[in-house]
């Protein structure tokens, strides 16, 4: 039983809780979630099997504990909202959310893109000015933006990444114009503070999640055009090899979220340093099983290895954004 509970992720617990509410109540909650959250919750629901009473009890108990910490007090003070969100999410992640809540007005047009597949987004924006495309990419979640970037013409990618990296915010008037272009009713004035979209970290996050071959070409083209800017982006990128910079507790948290099959694929061809870091943070039995899987798995496609590593990098970044782990090293933030 303890093993079952340890294997449950926060997403699994949310899925179990929603399934106990019944269809109507669950639907009312899910309609307030974003596209990535819906996908994660839906996948977790589909994969749940043999849910025990203890698993349901723990999921509900955790929800009740969290809710008891809340109050019905509504505070409409902008400074308070900024401080709370920044403290909770970190400055970079909070910026975008604060912009949407307090600054940018309605962004229904851009939000609708998050529910579309990459090809559909490309068809919608590919003939727009590169700066418009850069704004759209900055607004999308990094994994979706990476898919869209990979589907855009190769000769435009490095220019777009440089535009994103050097973007110094977007004025609300420009956001309004973009939403007008997408034919969505919006609100928000032409005056106000520029949003925090774009920037070096935004560019690095997107590049982290595109195919390695695409990333290499984009980085090479950017280095030829602006070596200093390309170097700054590379310094912020987090690669699979950077897992070695995460502390042991962080690695243990990550391993609870990663499937064994993906871990085996990702470790194929990596150096002993990364492998030893992983083995060291597993139980003796789990480590022995992983070694056996690595030894028994024959040659695998490089593309499969890169896909597995990319997925683990995505999980790592999510955990870092949630404050569950600290990346350290490249792509991370120094601890003091």
Q: What pLDDT, on a 0 to 100 scale, did the predictor assign at position 193?
A: 41
pTM of the model: 0.42
Measured distance CA(175)–CA(48) in Å, rounded: 41
Measured distance CA(121)–CA(324) in Å, rounded: 32
Closest to 268 (Cα-Cα) out of 301, 246, 315, 237: 301
As to burial, measured by CB atoms within 10 angstroms (0-12 exposed, 13-18 middle, 19+ buried), residue 254 is buried
Q: What pLDDT, on a 0 to 100 scale, did the predictor assign at position 299?
A: 84
Q: What pLDDT, on a 0 to 100 scale, did the predictor assign at position 328?
A: 56
Which of the 8 DSSP states describes residue 100?
I
Angle (nearest 5°) at CA 98 between 93 and 99: 105
Measured distance CA(117)–CA(98) in Å, rounded: 26
DSSP secondary structure string, 243-271? GGGS-HHHHHHHHTTS-HHHHHHHHTT--
Which of the 8 DSSP states describes residue 332?
S
Over the chain (336 residues), what is each successive 10-residue block's mean pLDDT?
Answer: 58 83 80 76 80 80 68 52 69 62 53 78 83 87 88 90 85 69 43 56 81 82 87 79 87 90 87 88 89 86 85 84 69 38
Measured distance CA(254)–CA(233) in Å, rounded: 25
Measured distance CA(42)–CA(264) in Å, rounded: 25
Q: What pLDDT, on a 0 to 100 scale, did the predictor assign at position 278?
A: 92
Measured distance CA(318)–CA(324) in Å, rounded: 9
Closest to 245 (Cα-Cα) out of 318, 320, 310: 320
Measured distance CA(99)–CA(195) in Å, rounded: 6
**Sequence-ordered list of residues with C-beta below 8 angstroms from that of 196, at least 6 positions apart, any chain:** 95, 96, 98, 99, 169
Per the listing, tokens 């003939």 go with 127
Q: Which pair of tokens denotes residue 4?
A: 């079952």
Q: What domains can you pick out in the chain, each with its CATH number?
A: 2-68 (1.10.220), 104-236 (1.10.220.30), 240-321 (1.10.220.30)
Q: What pLDDT, on a 0 to 100 scale, did the predictor assign at position 208?
A: 76
Q: Which pair of tokens denotes residue 176?
A: 């309004």
Measured distance CA(170)–CA(197) in Å, rounded: 6
Q: What pLDDT, on a 0 to 100 scale, did the predictor assign at position 106?
A: 47
Q: What pLDDT, on a 0 to 100 scale, did the predictor assign at position 178?
A: 72
Q: What pLDDT, on a 0 to 100 scale, did the predictor assign at position 187?
A: 38
Contacts of the segment 307-310: beta carbons below 8 A, 24+ positions apart: 307/265, 308/262, 308/263, 308/265, 308/266, 309/240, 309/266, 310/209, 310/211
DSSP secondary structure string, 170-201? --HHHHHHHHHHTT------S-SPPP---SHH
């Amino acid at each position: 039983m303890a093993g079952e509970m340890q294997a449950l992720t926060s997403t699994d617990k949310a899925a179990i809780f929603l399934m106990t509410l019944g269809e109507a109540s669950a639907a009312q909650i899910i309609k307030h979630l974003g596209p990535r959250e819906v996908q994660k919750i839906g996948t977790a629901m589909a994969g749940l099997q043999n849910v025990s009473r203890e698993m349901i009890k723990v999921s509900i108990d955790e929800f009740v504990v969290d809710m008891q910490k809340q109050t019905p007090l509504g505070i409409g003070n902008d400074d308070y909202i900024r401080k709370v969100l920044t403290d909770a999410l970190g400055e970079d992640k909070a910026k975008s959310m604060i912009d949407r809540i307090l600054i940018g007005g309605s962004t229904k047009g851009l939000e609708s893109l998050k529910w579309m597949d990459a090809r559909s987004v490309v068809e919608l924006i590919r003939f727009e000015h590169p700066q418009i495309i850069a704004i759209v990419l900055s607004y999308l979640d990094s994994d979706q933006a990476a898919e869209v970037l990979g589907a855009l013409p190769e000769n435009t990618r490095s220019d777009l990444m440089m535009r994103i990296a050097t973007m110094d915010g977007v004025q609300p008037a420009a956001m309004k114009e973009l939403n007008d272009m997408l034919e969505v009713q919006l609100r928000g004035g032409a005056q106000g503070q520029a949003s925090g979209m774009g920037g070096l970290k935004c560019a690095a996050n997107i590049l982290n999640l595109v195919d390695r071959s695409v990333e290499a070409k984009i980085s090479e083209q950017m280095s030829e055009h602006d070596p200093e800017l390309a170097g700054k982006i590379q310094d912020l990128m987090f690669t699979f090899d950077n897992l070695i910079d995460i502390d042991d507790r962080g690695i243990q948290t990550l391993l609870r979220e990663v499937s064994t099959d993906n871990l085996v694929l990702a470790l194929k061809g990596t150096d002993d340093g990364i492998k030893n870091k992983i083995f060291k943070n597993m139980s003796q039995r789990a480590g022995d099983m992983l070694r056996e899987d690595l030894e028994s798995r024959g040659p695998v496609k490089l593309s499969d290895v890169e896909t597995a590593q990319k997925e683990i990098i995505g999980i790592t970044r999510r955990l870092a954004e949630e404050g569950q782990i600290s990346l350290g090293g490249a792509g991370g933030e120094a601890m003091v």
